[in-house]
């Protein structure tokens, strides 16, 4: 069963096609991986799917609904969440405030004045406990380590209860112990019903965690399938591993 599908997705910057006619299907309820060499179009693909940039051609379908040119907030409300390659948090807000801003129904001024929905506070604390950073709720985000900020960003994304979560290099810049924790969290969340698409350069993480792997080269998929099949594909060895 397909969760998200793109048909002929294309985006050019100047004369360069960053994404070139990409047709992709994500398996619903699975951990999907997206790999490829630098410049192969992975992050541009993410940005199109989540409404950060508009494609020149093609469509994005989420559960058979066309979301191609909808703004990011509507795509988020449809059930798609994402993290970024460079972690995005509000550095001068506390950890708890970062969580509440992600789903705030009142203005930031009201939030900072202490007007908080009790249910949302409890939900925020639930996700902070899941990440193992509940003891940091009163710390300013800028005082967290980079790895802790990564966990905070993921927790904030989960505040919106997305069905599909896109992770852009979750292992980037973090230590092996945290990579193991993130891998465990993704597996647990997937077992609870969430679908994932993970862009990652850490091949051991991708091959060990993902059920289905899609390989991009020059803006389009060149191979896909279970990790055991993809890792032996000659096209992947040539494009990604340089063999």
- Quote the number of domains for the chain: 2
The answer to whether 213 touches 227, Cβ cutoff 8 Å, is yes
Do residues 230 and 167 both lie within one domain? yes
148 found inside a domain: no
Does residue 240 register a pLDDT over 80? no
Q: Which domain holds residue 219?
A: 2-86+163-239
Does residue 26 register a pLDDT over 90? yes
- The b-or-e profile of 2-16 (16+ CB within 10 A means b, else e) is ebbbbbebbbeeeee
Do residues 19 and 73 both lie within one domain? yes
Q: Which two tokens stand for residue 170?
A: 């979750």
Do residues 177 and 135 both lie within one domain? no
CATH code, domain carrying 186: 3.40.50.300
Q: What's the whole-model pTM score?
A: 0.90
- Give the rounded percent of residues in the chain with a pLDDT score beyond 70: 92
Given this model, what pLDDT does residue 29 score? 94
151 found inside a domain: no
198 found inside a domain: yes
Do residues 206 and 100 both lie within one domain? no
Do residues 78 and 187 both lie within one domain? yes
- Per DSSP, the three-state class of 17 is strand
Does residue 111 register a pLDDT over 60? no
152 found inside a domain: no
Do residues 178 and 205 both lie within one domain? yes
Torsional class of 153: left (φ above 0), alpha (ψ -120 to 50), beta (otherwise): alpha
44 found inside a domain: yes
Q: Give 60-98 pLDDT, tens digit per residue.
A: 999 999 999 899 989 999 999 999 888 889 999 999 999
CA-to-CA distance for 196 and 163, rounded, in angstroms? 9
Do residues 67 and 185 both lie within one domain? yes
Torsional class of 157: left (φ above 0), alpha (ψ -120 to 50), beta (otherwise): alpha
Given this model, what pLDDT does residue 108 score? 53
Q: Give 154-185 pLDDT, tens digit per residue.
A: 999 999 999 999 999 998 888 999 999 999 99
Q: Give 199-237 pLDDT, tens digit per residue.
A: 988 888 999 999 999 999 989 999 999 999 998 888 887
């Amino acid at each position: 069963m397909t969760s998200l599908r793109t048909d002929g997705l294309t985006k050019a910057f100047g004369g360069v096609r960053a994404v070139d006619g990409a047709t992709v299907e994500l398996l619903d309820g699975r951990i999907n991986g997206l790999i490829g060499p630098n410049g192969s179009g992975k992050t541009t693909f993410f940005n199109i799917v989540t409404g950060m940039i508009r494609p020149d051609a093609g469509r994005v379908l989420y559960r058979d609904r066309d979301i191609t040119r909808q703004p990011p907030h509507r795509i988020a409300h449809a059930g798609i969440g994402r993290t970024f390659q460079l972690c995005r948090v509000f550095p001068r807000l506390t950890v708890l405030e970062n969580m509440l801003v992600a789903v705030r129904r009142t203005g930031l001024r009201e939030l900072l004045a202490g007007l908080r929905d009790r249910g949302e506070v409890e939900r925020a604390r639930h996700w902070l406990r899941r990440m193992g950073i509940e003891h940091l709720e009163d710390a300013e985000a800028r005082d967290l380590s980079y790895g802790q900020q990564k966990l905070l960003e993921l927790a904030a994304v989960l505040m919106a209860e997305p069905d599909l979560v896109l992770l852009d290099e979750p292992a980037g810049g973090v230590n092996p112990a945290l990579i193991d924790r993130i891998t465990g969290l993704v597996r647990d969340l997937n077992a609870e019903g969430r679908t994932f698409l993970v862009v990652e350069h850490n091949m051991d993480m991708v091959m060990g965690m993902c059920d289905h792997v899609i390989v991009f080269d020059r803006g389009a998929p060149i191979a896909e399938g279970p990790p055991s099949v993809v890792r032996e594909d000659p096209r992947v060895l040539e494009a990604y591993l340089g063999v």
